[in-house]
């Protein structure tokens, strides 16, 4: 026990150690002039996206401050890697040729061993044998046989990890948590089927092969957190069946809190999942008194400064988008290059639609908007704001015959930030005074547009 406590303290201090992460590289025989990097500092706040241009020597450089382990995506054209762990103080160089990305990819420098491990891990478990395909095939086998396969696979992958030389203890623990989370999540999904509704929560937990992991490692691991979140969703569903009614949001959060287990489901992990749950509530419903109360309770007891700061800002921003708050003005150009401003339509009701040609739900909703636009063509200004590039935008307008005022903005532009657009489609209804008319606009596809029609009619009747 003394040894475990020492290991816990050691790993916790590493996870909290602030440092500079550096990634530089050279693209041999480049086919384009930029690389794309996405950084995930934690699993509550927003990811950070970077587009980095190659210099005249076909090189690039990226650096940022990290407080603990984080995850990174790297893409060049259609090649790259996704959700790889990085650490403070890493100073890694990479080289590759686009046409033979994986065979030419080489890492060097401080911390490079972990990325070289990922390359070898991919070769062993994804190329030489397709583990995911094997797991999918065996999911139709008897439960015990399937679970034995998953547990054996977990052991094999962890042994491969631990035999890889020169990896930091912190990376090994973090990667082990990801492996456990990935493999045990297969079980959670399997047990979500109707065939296993009689299984109790305790029996489900006992079927999971989980090792004792430090608190901070549990909280920062992508896959371990995903497994726990899915497990909680399953328990919520089971509780709802027993009570014969859906759980309230507060009951869901209390259930998550009650799942604490010192060795397996730590306070830090529960804090992360609770914070994510609250974030999702705010995004789905805006800030209601009920949600505000739950957020206040979280802020009063949470230990993570990052989560507390993020949720505080999320609540504050949500209030700027709440019913009755003034909508921020914007200026964008239409198809003819004419500048259009929200202020141009003061005194009129405005419907804003953020969309893109690659967004399936956006295109699906459009067919229901035809009826809505026809009904209110003389009373409501319909503005579509595309997040496509210029060529794709113009082509999509013609292809889908999008009527109304058509404007375009970049995904990370001021307007998307001011309107809190973190996903599309995103809809807003603005009244004649220039204020948000409702907290949540109905999707056009709901009741084939009739729900949205009723919502707009109610706004138009206001004095």
Write out pLDDT tens, residues 27-41.
Answer: 999 999 999 999 999
Across 100-125, average pLDDT:
97
At 326, list the tokens: 């003034």
Residue 9 has pLDDT above 50, yes or no: no
Domain spans of the chain, in order of start: 2-127, 165-320, 331-461
Residue 283 pLDDT: 85
Percent of the chain whose predicted confidence (pLDDT) is above 70: 96
Beginning with the edge strand found earlier in the chain, give each strand of the sheet holding 349-355 in spatial order. Answer: 405-408, 380-386, 349-355, 426-430
Q: Same fold for the domain at 2-127 and the one at 331-461?
A: no
CA distance 239 to 449: 34
Do 51 and 251 form a contact (C-beta atoms < 8 A)?
Answer: no
Residue 12 has pLDDT above 50, yes or no: no
Model confidence at 2, pLDDT cuts 50, 70, 90, reads very low
pLDDT tens digits, one per residue of 44-95: 998 998 999 999 999 999 999 999 999 999 999 999 999 999 999 999 999 9
pLDDT tens digits, one per residue of 317-361: 888 888 899 999 999 999 999 999 999 999 999 999 999 999 999
Across 154-165, average pLDDT:
97
Mean residue pLDDT across the chain: 92
Strand 349-355 and strand 380-386: the pairing is parallel
140-177: b (≥16 Cβ within 10 Å) or e: eeebeebbebbbebbeebbeebeebeebbebbbbbbbb
Residue 17 pLDDT: 63
With vertex at residue 442, the alpha carbon angle to CA 436 and CA 444, rounded to the nearest 5 degrees, is: 120
pLDDT tens digits, one per residue of 166-205: 999 999 999 999 999 999 999 999 999 989 999 999 999 9
Torsion of the alpha carbons at 149, 151, 156 and 158, rounded to the nearest 10: 150
Do 447 and 371 form a contact (C-beta atoms < 8 A)?
Answer: no
The radius of gyration of the chain from alpha carbons, rounded to an integer in Å, stands at 25
Residue 320 pLDDT: 85
Residue 428 pLDDT: 95
CA distance 391 to 61: 30
Q: Under CATH, what is the fold of the domain 331-461?
A: Glutaredoxin (3.40.30)
Residue 8 has pLDDT above 70, yes or no: no
Percent of the chain whose predicted confidence (pLDDT) is above 90: 87
Across 245-253, average pLDDT:
94
Residue 322 pLDDT: 85
pLDDT tens digits, one per residue of 293-312: 999 999 999 999 999 999 99
pLDDT tens digits, one per residue of 412-421: 899 998 998 8
Residue 266 pLDDT: 94
CATH 2.60.40 matches 2-127: yes
């Amino acid at each position: 026990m003394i040894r475990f406590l020492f290991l816990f303290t050691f790993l916790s201090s590493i996870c909290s150690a602030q440092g500079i992460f550096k990634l530089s590289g050279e693209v041999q025989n480049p086919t384009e002039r930029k690389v794309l990097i996405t950084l995930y500092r934690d699993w509550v706040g927003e990811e950070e996206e970077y587009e980095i241009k190659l210099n005249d020597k076909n090189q690039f450089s990226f650096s940022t401050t990290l407080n603990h382990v984080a995850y990174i995506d790297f893409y060049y054209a259609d090649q790259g890697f996704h959700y790889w762990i990085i650490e403070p103080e890493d100073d890694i160089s990479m080289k590759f040729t686009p046409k033979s990305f994986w065979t030419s990819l080489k890492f060097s420098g401080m911390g490079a061993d972990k990325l070289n491990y990922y390359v070898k891990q991919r070769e062993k478990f994804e190329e030489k044998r397709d583990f995911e395909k094997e797991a999918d095939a065996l999911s139709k086998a008897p439960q015990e046989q399937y679970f034995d396969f998953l547990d054996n696979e977990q052991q094999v992958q962890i042994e491969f990890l631990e035999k890889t030389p020169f990896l930091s203890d912190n990376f090994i623990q973090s990667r082990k948590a990801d492996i456990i989370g990935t493999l045990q999540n297969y079980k959670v999904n399997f047990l979500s089927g109707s065939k296993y509704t009689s299984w109790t929560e305790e029996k489900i937990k006992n079927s999971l092969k989980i090792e004792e992991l430090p608190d901070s490692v549990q909280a920062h691991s992508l896959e371990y957190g995903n497994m726990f979140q899915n497990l909680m969703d399953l328990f919520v569903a089971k509780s709802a069946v027993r009570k014969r009614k859906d759980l309230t949001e507060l009951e869901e959060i209390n259930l998550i809190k009650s799942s604490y287990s010192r060795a397996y489901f730590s306070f830090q992990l529960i804090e992360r999942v609770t914070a994510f749950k609250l974030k999702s509530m705010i995004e789905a419903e805006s800030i209601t008194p009920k949600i505000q109360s739950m957020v206040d309770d979280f802020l009063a007891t949470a230990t993570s400064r990052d989560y507390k700061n993020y949720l505080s800002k999320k609540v504050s921003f949500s209030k700027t988008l709440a019913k009755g708050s003034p909508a921020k003005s914007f200026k964008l150009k239409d198809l003819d290059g004419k500048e259009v401003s929200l202020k141009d339509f003061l005194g009129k009701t405005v419907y804003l639609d953020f969309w893109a040609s690659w967004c399936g739900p956006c295109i699906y909703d459009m067919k229901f908007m035809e009826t809505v636009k026809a009904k209110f063509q003389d009373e409501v200004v319909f503005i579509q704001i595309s997040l496509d590039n210029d060529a794709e935008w113009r082509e999509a307008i013609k292809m889908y015959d999008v009527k109304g005022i058509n404007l375009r903005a970049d995904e990370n532009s001021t307007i998307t930030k001011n309107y809190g657009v973190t996903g599309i489609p995103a809809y807003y209804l603005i009244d004649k005074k220039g204020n948000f008319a409702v907290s949540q606009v109905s999707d056009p596809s709901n009741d084939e547009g009739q729900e949205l029609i009723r919502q707009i009619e109610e706004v138009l009747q206001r004095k």
